[in-house]
Amino acid sequence: MFKKILIANRGEIAVRVIRACKEWGIATVAVHSDVDRDSMHVRLADESVCIGSHQPSNSYLNVPALMSAVELTKAEAVHPGYGFLSENANFARVLEENNIKFIGASSKLIEMMGDKIQAKKIAKEHGLPVIEGSEGGITDIKAAKELCKKIGFPVLIKASAGGGGKGMKIVRKEEEFETLFSTAKSEAQKYFGNDEIYIEKFFQNPRHIEVQVLSGKNRTVHLHERDCSVQRRHQKLIEETPSPVLTDQIRKDLFERTVNMVSKIGYEGAGTVEFIYENGKFYFLEMNTRIQVEHPVTEMVTGIDIIKEQIWIAYNGETALKQSDINPRGHAIECRINAEDASKNFQPSPGTIGMCHQPSGFRTRVDGAIFQGYKVTPYYDSLVCKVITHGRNRTEAIQRMNRSLDEFVIEGITTTIPLHKILLNHKKFLDSDFNVGWLDNEKVI
């Protein structure tokens, strides 16, 4: 097994990886910016290295600084977490060239599946249904208009190299197209350095379903699905498993096709294949070649530590799991707790945390890195922690989440806890009568 791993991230995911490493008996290295020197991940790691100032480009996105930290600490492997450089093919390639193990997909596969257009072609080649739309990137507005007329409005314009809702525009009628096409291209250039966009059919009432996989040279297994349909502006807020809307037959088909594609492309590591689901049919959306924020709900129902398995595959090249080992039980829900004021259009709420009491109890888990005196800065993502509950069924998981959120006390900042309490008790959520556009189209607070 690896003797030392450097975690190229911060916050709750860095803490999560450190915990997995400790259970493997692996020494850990935390990297941090100047404002994160007192953070929990720094306190828990065996060593720490300051890699730059608070701007992500000077620290957590700074490849030369990270490579210097790897060399200084003699780390054998790097775990990128999620976000930052976790799906950066260049970073993975630099590590590969220096014989440092990147705990994630190979640079080739990151590049291949990170390009939305190429990923769609690959999915189609291996038998996954894809959304009707452009076969490649589009730059000519006249050709784009003709395609839209062919597939019919509404359509979705997306950045080819994008994610997180950036460079994404819904065009409901032809008169809006030119303006939104130009806006999407400029956003794509701004956020990803690539203004290539593509167009696909927009679904009116879709669910967002994803399949967790673990894959090695020997086999690919799936860890069932997650339903991530409670979103705001394409950002997930609540995730659960199993999905309340899938039938056993649809699940079987979904899992078989997903495992086939992941296996055929030679994928190694943990990954997630995402789908749009509407009217009993699913369509390939994208593949994330990293660990997901919402991985704990899968861990709660399967009893499998996905991060530890991810590390094992990186070291050994194979997964020790067989499909027969994976027998999910019950239902799990995750609420993302962000430092935001939902009543003020999700305005960020940086500040110093005063009193902090985190929930616990039967089948309740909190993944976070906060504590009394912790400073939530405005420089990074607003996620401060995640609450995950498990029940014998969906009703019990919701009841347990309500109880857990009632116990949670975070003073000094405003969080999304009040919003989650509203959502968990909303009739549409209780009846599972919602889609990805629910919160954008309906006022719930």
Active site residues per annotation = 290
Closest CA to 153 of 205, 203, 207: 203
Q: Please tell me the distance from the alpha carbon of residue 31 to that of residue 48, in angstroms, as a whole number.
A: 6
Q: Which residue(s) pair with 348 in the sheet? A: 340
C-alpha 219 chain-centroid distance: 23
Q: Please tell me the distance from the alpha carbon of residue 219 to that of residue 285, in angstroms, as a whole number.
A: 23
296 and 239 Cβ atoms separated by less than 8 Å: no
Q: Please tell me the distance from the alpha carbon of residue 299 to that of residue 222, in angstroms, as a whole number.
A: 12
Q: Please tell me the distance from the alpha carbon of residue 91 to that of residue 112, in angstroms, as a whole number.
A: 15
Instruction: Output the CA angle 299-301-307, nearest 5 degrees.
Output: 10
| Sole residue written with tokens 């966009």 | 197
3-state secondary structure of 155: strand
For the chain, percent helix, then strand, then coil, each to nearest 5?
A: 35, 25, 35
Question: What is the token pair recorded at 236?
Answer: 């997930």
3-state secondary structure of 198: strand
Residue 25's region, left for phi above 0, alpha for psi from -120 to 50, else beta, is left
Q: Which residue(s) pair with 159 in the sheet? A: 197
Q: Which residue(s) pair with 226 in the sheet? A: 210
Q: Please tell me the distance from the alpha carbon of residue 306 to that of residue 296, in angstroms, as a whole number.
A: 8
Sheet with 169-171, strands from edge to edge, namely 169-171, 155-159, 197-201
For 374, counting Cβ atoms within 10 Å of its Cβ (0-12 exposed, 13-18 middle, 19+ buried), the class is buried
Q: Please tell me the distance from the alpha carbon of residue 171 to that of residue 156, in angstroms, as a whole number.
A: 6
Distances (CA, A) of 436 to 128, 130, 183, 197, 235: 21, 18, 22, 22, 10
C-alpha 118 chain-centroid distance: 20
Instruction: Output the CA angle 60-62-66, nearest 5 degrees.
Output: 80
DSSP conformational letter for 91? H
**Strand (E) or helix (H) holding 269:** strand 269-278
